[in-house]
Amino acid sequence: MIIVMQADASQADIDRVVQRVEGLRLRPHVIVGTERTVVAVVGDERDAAGSGFETLPGVASVMPILAPYKVASREVQSEPTVVRAGSLVVGGTSIGVIAGPCSVESLEQIVETARQVKALGATALRGGAFKPRTSPYSFQGMKEQGLELLAEARRETGLAIVTEVVSPEDVPLVARYADVLQVGARNMQNYRLLEAVGRTQVAVLLKRGPAATVEELLLAAEYILDGGNRQVMLCERGIRTFETHTRFTLPLATVPWLHARTHLPVVVDPSHGTGHANLVPAMAAASIAAGADGLIVEVHPDPKCASSDGAQSLDFPAFGRMMDLCRRVAEALGRTLG
Query: Which chain residues interact with ligand PEP by CB under 6 A?
Result: 102, 128, 132, 184-186, 207, 237, 269, 272
Distance CA 269, CA 172 (A): 26
Which residue of the chain is nearest ligand PEP when measured via CB?
Answer: 184
C-beta of 101: minimal distance to ligand PEP in Å? Answer: 9
Pick the closer one to ligand PEP by CB: 80 or 184.
184
| 296 close to 235: Cβ distance less than 8 angstroms | yes
Which region, judged by CB under 5 A, interacts with Mn ion, from 81-89, 115-123, 163-171, 303-311?
A: 303-311
For the residues of 190-218, what is the DSSP string, one character each?
A: -HHHHHHHHTS-SEEEEEPPTT--HHHHH
Pick the closer one to Mn ion by CB: 200 or 312.
312
C-beta of 298: minimal distance to Mn ion in Å? Answer: 6
* 309 touches Mn ion (CB under 5 A): yes
Q: Which does 62 bind (CB under 5 to 8 A by kind): Mn ion, ligand PEP, none?
A: none
Say how many C-beta atoms besides its own lie within 10 A of residue 325's C-beta: 15
Distance CA 309, CA 244 (A): 17
| 145 close to 173: Cβ distance less than 8 angstroms | no
C-beta of 287: minimal distance to ligand PEP in Å? Answer: 14
* 102 touches Mn ion (CB under 5 A): yes
The 8-class DSSP code of residue 128 comes to: B
| 316 close to 322: Cβ distance less than 8 angstroms | no
> What residue type is 191 in one-letter code?
Y
Q: Which does 179 bind (CB under 5 to 8 A by kind): ligand PEP, Mn ion, none?
A: none
* 39 touches Mn ion (CB under 5 A): no
For the residues of 240-297, what is the DSSP string, one character each?
A: --S--SSSSB--TTHHHHHHHHBSS-EEE-HHHHHS-GGGHHHHHHHHHHTT-SEEEE
Pick the closer one to ligand PEP by CB: 166 or 288.
166
Q: Which does 184 bind (CB under 5 to 8 A by kind): Mn ion, ligand PEP, none?
A: ligand PEP
Pick the closer one to Mn ion by CB: 80 or 209.
209
Instruction: Indicate the angle between helix axes 107-119 and 143-157, nearest 10 degrees.
Output: 40
C-beta of 91: minimal distance to Mn ion in Å? Answer: 24
Pick the closer one to ligand PEP by CB: 53 or 248.
248
Q: Which residues bind Mn ion (CB under 5 A)?
A: 102, 309
